[in-house]
A = this chain, B = another copy of it.
Amino acid sequence: MNDKIKQLLSELAQLKSDLYGKDFLLTWENSTDNLKSVMLVAEIMQELHRQKKPFKIFDSGLGIAIFRDNSTRTRFSYASAVNALGLALSELDEVKSQVAHGETVRETAAMISFLTEAIGIRDDMYPGEGHSYMVEVAEAVSESFREGVLAQRPTLVNLQCDLDHPTQSLADLLKLKDYFGGLENLRGKKIAMSWAYSPSYGKPLSVPQGVINLMTRFGMEVVLAHPEGYDLLPETLVSAGDFAHASGGSFRVTHDMKDAFDGADIVYPKSWAPMAVMQERTRLLRAGEKQALKDLEQACLAQNASHMDWECTEAMMALTRNGNALYEHCLPADISGVSCKQGEVAASVFERYRLHTYQEAGFKPFVIASMIFNSKIKEPAAKLSSFYKE
């Protein structure tokens, strides 16, 4: 056990977290100590992995993934996380199993959980849907556990919903912690969470909502930038403001990308759909109005196209602190001239930070494993120490 691990374990042991037995659905439901516990356990697990020391806590059991939207990286992060903990991945394919809302959610949740320890859910496409679905599943497994149908209660992990993307934002934050040398060094740092142009349509709001509600908790100067009409859910702006106030940081919204980038220590330029469009889209999908959906897509793409200057170019980067703010992205980025004609970021900017974004993503498997670990293990520091003795 090296000094870094000793330090992390000591910090972990001093936290007053209450994650034991809990799901992880939204960062803003959790105390700062809970968030720190998720991060510290993730960092220790990453170090254990580097030292080729296993950190299994299960002899057997399933880790179920429910993906209601396509995903490569989150899927593999979850697969890696449950495997490292000793669980076998099982995917619930909703097309095959014809799951629907209502009675079936409650029943299906019980049916798949008899020997299940964790359930990761991604459901991010429709405002007002994803988080509600997760709460419904959580209540269903709680009932089945309480009533003796299940011998154990599976832990739920939000792998992206309509509100938050906690495994992403905590990976983003871990990258900042690593890059700037500790959480305390983030105090006063300016981060520009900015909308950026993309030739695509219907990207969820959970990443910017998650970022502004997490970074404000650690004393950062958070600036949210987007063109008019690309607002996030109003309550997420209110909570971000509250968090900034409580932590001694700040939070404000601007409609000027340059304003946000000016003197920034970190930039996070990323496209998302206007909330109003997402809501209209949900309504049209439910109503099955195919022509109206196509019209909406065209209108939205046209609206995007009037903001093609919202790109993270070298000129924009030059505005940041010493011209070398850290660039963050949840990946995949829309890279101008590489993955699309014109997109969120200039190719030269992206290439300069490419490996940084890979490292950022590299925290995600450990964040997911940590969320499950924190829910299952009463004394995380003691348990993690024990892996060094084996």
Chain B: minimal CB distance from A133 (Å): 16
CB of A5 within 8 A of chain B?
no
**A83 contacts B104, C-beta separation under 8 Å:** no
CB proximity to B under 8 Å, residues A7-49:
46, 49
Task: Check B79–A97 contact: CB distance below 8 A.
Answer: no
Does A339 interact with chain B (Cβ within 8 Å)? yes
A112–B149 touching, CB < 8 Å: no
Set of chain B residues within 8 Å of A59, measured between Cβ atoms: 54, 56
Q: Is the CB–CB distance between B88 and A62 below 8 Å?
A: no
The answer to whether A339 and B103 touch across the interface, beta carbons within 8 angstroms, is yes
Quick one: which of B80, B86, B339 contacts A116, CB cutoff 8 A?
B80
Q: Which residues of B contact A112 (CB under 8 A)?
A: 72-73, 76
* A235 interface residue (CB < 8 Å to B): no
- Residues on B with C-beta less than 8 A from A61 are 83-84
- A216 an interface residue at 8 Å Cβ cutoff? no
Shortest beta-carbon distance from A53 to chain B in Å? 9
Kindly identify which residue among B49, B60, B89 contacts A115, using a CB–CB cutoff of 8 Å: B49
Chain B residues, CB < 8 A from A364? 114
Is A102's beta carbon under 8 Å from chain B? yes
Render A338-378 as a binary contact track against B, CB cut-off 8 A, 1 for contact: 11000000000000000100110110110000000000000
CB pair A331 B111 closer than 8 Å: yes
Identify 25 residue pairs between A and B in the complex whose beta-carbon atoms are under 8 Å apart, listed by A's number: A49-B115, A49-B151, A54-B60, A61-B84, A62-B76, A64-B76, A72-B98, A72-B108, A73-B112, A75-B97, A76-B111, A77-B114, A79-B90, A80-B114, A84-B115, A102-B338, A102-B339, A104-B339, A107-B331, A110-B358, A114-B361, A114-B362, A144-B358, A149-B358, A149-B362
